[in-house]
Amino acid sequence: MPPLRPLARSLPPLQDESLPGFLLRLAFRLDTSPVELAVRTGLADRPDQAALPMPHLIGLPAERRQHFATMIKATDSEVTAMLLDNHGSRFPPAQPSTTGRNGANQQHRWLFLHSTRYCPQCLARQDTPVERAFGGAWKISWRLPPVFACLEHGRFLEHVCPACKSLVLHTATRHGGKRLPRWREGNLHPSQCRAFIDGPCGHRLDENSTPAHRLPPKYRKFQKCLLEILDPHGPETVRAIGHETSPAHYFNDLRSACHLLRTSWPNSRHLLNDPELIASLEAGVVDSAGNISQSKFVRTLSDTPQLAARPHAALLLAADRLLRSAHPDAFASQLRILTTADCRPSKVGWVRAFLDNRPECSEGFLHAVSSVIQTYAGGNLARNLKEPVRATRFRPEHIPQFLEEDWYQRYFAHMEGIATVHLRRTVALRLSQTASGGSIQKAADRMGLYLGDPAIAARIADSPKRVHRWARNRPNPLEFEAAIRDLAAELDAREDLIDYEGRRKVLANWCIGPQPWQEIKARIAVPGGGYAPGGGFPKDLSDRKRNIGSVILWALVTQSEHFFAPTPICDQQDPQTQKKWRMSVDAVWARMRHRTTRPTDNMLITALHEYAAYLIPIIDRGETPSNDASPWT
C-alpha cells in the first residue's frame, strides 16, 4: 500500500451512507474521478484494478479499512457503518464470505450488489451545507432487500432512472466488468444517472419528476417492523412459526418463504393478493400449465429479490404472514399444499434448493419442513436428502427398534384405524430418520432392521407404507407428523437418553443361564398334576421355555421385537426343532400383544420384568452381565 498520506480535503460520511455513494460525493467534492479516488484511498492498488470489488461493498479487511479511514479522515466505526456487513449479525446475507468467486456466494443473492434502490427526496435532502453542495446520501440500507420504502417520505423506493429506465448505479457492463458506470469520469454530480445508452443520460435522480408511489398503511407498518429487526439495538427475538427465534434466523426464514412462494406459483396464488406481484410472476418463464419453469436458471432467479420495490414488498409481506402462523402444523399444512403438485417432494424445485443451501432457519421452520420433505422419502433421492433437515440431540442409537410403550400411549394410542404394530415400527423409523436423515430404508438399515430374514425385512418395510396411506386419509393428515414432532421435541429436551443400540450389542449373544432359569422356574407355581390353573396346558419349563424367556427378556431390555432377538439356545437344536421353537416364541409374543396370555405366561413375564430391571443398569453402565447373574443370586 502507498504511504499513509491523508487527503487534503474530505467529507464526513452521512448517516447510513454506502461506500459507493461516499466515493461519488467525495470525488465530486475533489473534482476527480471515483477511479482515481479509489487508488488514492487504498481501495485499489493500481488504476487498472480500480473496479470496486463487490466484496468491498460487503466488508473490508481490517488493514484496508483502517487505511481508508485514515485517508478520508474518518473513524474506523464511520467506515464500518458504510459497509453491508454492519448488518451481518442480524441479516445473514450481509456477512462476508471467504468462498465463492470474488468472495461472493449464493448467500449474497439477497443483497443488491450490482445496483440499488433509492428515494429521490432523500438524495435531494438539503438539511446541511454539505448536503446542499454535494447531495444526500446513497444509503447502505437501500441495498438490503427487506428495505423497500422510505418511511420519512412515505413512499416506495425507486430502482430505475425515470429518464432512461436503466437500473441505478448498475455495475454490469457489456465487457463483464464490475465497476460503477462511468467510473473514470469526474464531472458528474453524485445524484446524476450514470447510465450510457446511445450516449450519457445524466438525469438528476434527486429531481422528483415522477409521481411517488405512496406507501399504504400496511406496508408502512411492515417496513417499520423489518427496520426494527434489522436495527443492531432492536429486539433480540422474533416470533416465527410458534417459536421465538433470532433476527438472523427470521430473515433466513423470510428468504426461504419468499423462494417457496415464487417457485410454487400458481399454487401460492391464494397467498399473493397483490396485482403487481401476480403480474410480475405471470411475466416469468412459464409452461403450458402456467407453472414457472424449473430450469436451473429460473430456480436461481426465483431466489433473487426483485429490485422493483412494490411487488417485492408484497412478496415479503405474504412470506411474513406465512411465517406468523401460530403453530408449525399450520405452516406445515401450507407447505404441503405449496410443494406437492405431484406429491413427490424430491421433484419440487424449492425443496432441492433448500436442501442444497441448508440455511440456518428457526426451529419452528425446520420442524415444519422436516415433517413435509423428510418423511416417506424413497431410497433413490438426491444426495442432498441424505443429511437430516435439522440437528437433534438424540441420535438413531437412542431410538428403540420398536417404540416404547410409554411413548406410544402418550402420543399415538388415541389414533385409530391402524394396527399398533405398524405405528410403533413406523414412529421408531421416523425418529431415526429425523436424527440421521435419508430415506426410511436407510433409517431401517441404520437401526439394524433389515439384517437377516428377507421376509422380516419385507414386513418391516410394509409398515411405513401402510401408515403413510392411513395418515393421508385421516381428518387431519398432519396429526401423525405433529405427534412425531412433539415426541422428537421431548427427546431433544431429555438429559437421560438411552443407548438402545449399545444394549443390543451387549446382548448380541446372550441368553438366560441355567442357574437363573432355576430361580425363574421356582416362581412359576403350578398345582399338583402338572397342569396350570384352568387346565389343558401341561407344565413345560424345559430349554424350549428358557429360549422363549431369553427372547422376551431381550425384547424388554432393548425395546425391540422378538424376531430380532439372538437365540443361542435354539440355534443348538436340529433344524426341525428350531422351527418348532421359533413358532412357540411367535405364539407367546402374539398372546402378549393381544393380551390373551395364560397364567403361566403371566408368571414368567413377571419374573422377566424383575430380571430386566436388574440387567438394565448394568448394561447402561457399559458392563456386560454374566449369563448366570440374576437379581435372585
Query: Is 164 a domain residue?
Result: yes
Range of the domain at 281: 235-373
Question: What is the mean pLDDT of the segment spanning 164-188?
Answer: 71
Is 488 in contact with 479 (CB distance < 8 Å)?
no
Q: Which whole-number Å values give the CA distances from 571 to 328, 456, 555, 579, 627, in the listed order? A: 50, 18, 18, 10, 17
Domain-terminating residue out of 165, 196, 231? 231
Q: List, for residues 349-401, the tens digit of each pLDDT value.
A: 787 778 777 888 998 888 888 877 766 554 444 455 677 788 888 999 999 99
Which candidate, 257, 273, 43, places its Cα nearest to that of 145? 257
The residue ranges of DSSP E strands in 502-542, in sequence order, are none
Give residue 347's pLDDT. 44
Amino acid at 601: D
Give residue 385's pLDDT. 63
Q: Are residues 29 and 139 in the same domain?
A: yes
Is 140 in contact with 146 (CB distance < 8 Å)?
no
Query: Is 239 a domain residue?
Result: yes
Question: What is the mean pLDDT of the segment spanning 40-64?
Answer: 73
290: pLDDT strictly greater than 70? no
Query: Is 531 a domain residue?
Result: yes
Query: Is 590 a domain residue?
Result: yes
Q: Are residues 310 and 361 in the same domain?
A: yes
251 — pLDDT class (breaks 50, 70, 90): very high
Domain-terminating residue out of 435, 463, 497? 497
Which candidate, 85, 138, 149, places its Cα nearest to that of 115? 138
Is 480 in contact with 415 (CB distance < 8 Å)?
yes
Is 111 in contact with 58 (CB distance < 8 Å)?
yes
Task: Please give the share of the chain, as a percent, with pLDDT higher than 90.
Answer: 40
Cα torsion 619, 622, 623, 624 to 10°: value is 60
CB atoms closer than 10 angstroms to residue 91: 27
Cell for 89?
449479525
Query: Is 387 a domain residue?
Result: no
Q: Are residues 207 and 282 in the same domain?
A: no
Q: Are residues 521 and 411 in the same domain?
A: no
3-state SS, residue 292:
strand
Q: List, for residues 520-544, the tens digit of each pLDDT value.
A: 988 887 655 444 555 445 567 889 9
Q: What is the pTM of this model?
A: 0.78
Q: Are residues 163 and 25 in the same domain?
A: yes
CB atoms closer than 10 angstroms to residue 178: 16
* Number of structural domains found in the chain: 4
Q: Are residues 122 and 219 in the same domain?
A: yes
Mean pLDDT of the chain: 83
Query: Is 226 a domain residue?
Result: yes
Q: List, for residues 434-493, the tens digit of each pLDDT value.
A: 888 877 888 888 888 766 667 777 888 889 889 988 988 888 887 898 899 889 989 988
Query: Is 388 a domain residue?
Result: no
Q: Are residues 515 and 457 in the same domain?
A: no
173: pLDDT strictly greater than 60? no
Query: Is 24 a domain residue?
Result: yes
The backbone torsions φ and ψ at residue 286, rounded to the nearest 5 degrees and listed phi first, read -125, 160
DSSP string, 379-438: TT--GGGSS-SS--SS-GGGS-SS--HHHHHHHTTT--SS-HHHHHHHHHHHHHHHHH-S
The angle, 0 to 180 degrees and rounded to 10, between the axes of the packed helices 275-282 and 309-323 is 100
Q: Are residues 272 and 194 in the same domain?
A: no
617 — pLDDT class (breaks 50, 70, 90): very high
Domain-terminating residue out of 205, 231, 257? 231
3-state SS, residue 178:
strand
More confident residue, 587 or 107: 587
Q: Are residues 203 and 258 in the same domain?
A: no
Neighbouring residues of 73: CB distance < 8 A, sequence distance ≥ 6: 6, 7, 10
Query: How far, in Å, CA of 599 to CA of 531, rounded?
Result: 11
51: pLDDT strictly greater than 80? no
Q: List, for residues 575-615, the tens digit of each pLDDT value.
A: 999 999 999 999 999 999 888 988 888 999 999 999 999 99
Continuous H helices in 59-202: 62-71, 76-80, 120-123, 129-134
Window from 413-422, 472-481, 498-507 with minimum mean pLDDT:
472-481
3-state SS, residue 240:
strand
Q: Are residues 297 and 410 in the same domain?
A: no
Query: How far, in Å, CA of 614 to CA of 512, rounded?
Result: 13
Q: Are residues 219 and 311 in the same domain?
A: no
The residue ranges of DSSP E strands in 464-565, in sequence order, are none
Is 429 in contact with 373 (CB distance < 8 Å)?
no
108: pLDDT strictly greater than 60? yes
Q: Are residues 247 and 304 in the same domain?
A: yes
110: pLDDT strictly greater than 70? yes
Cell for 314?
408484497
402: pLDDT strictly greater than 70? yes
Is 103 in contact with 54 (CB distance < 8 Å)?
yes
Cα torsion 119, 123, 127, 128 to 10°: value is 150
Give residue 539's pLDDT. 62
194: pLDDT strictly greater than 80? yes
3-state SS, residue 149:
strand
Is 205 in contact with 168 (CB distance < 8 Å)?
yes
Query: How far, in Å, CA of 289 to CA of 537, rounded?
Result: 70
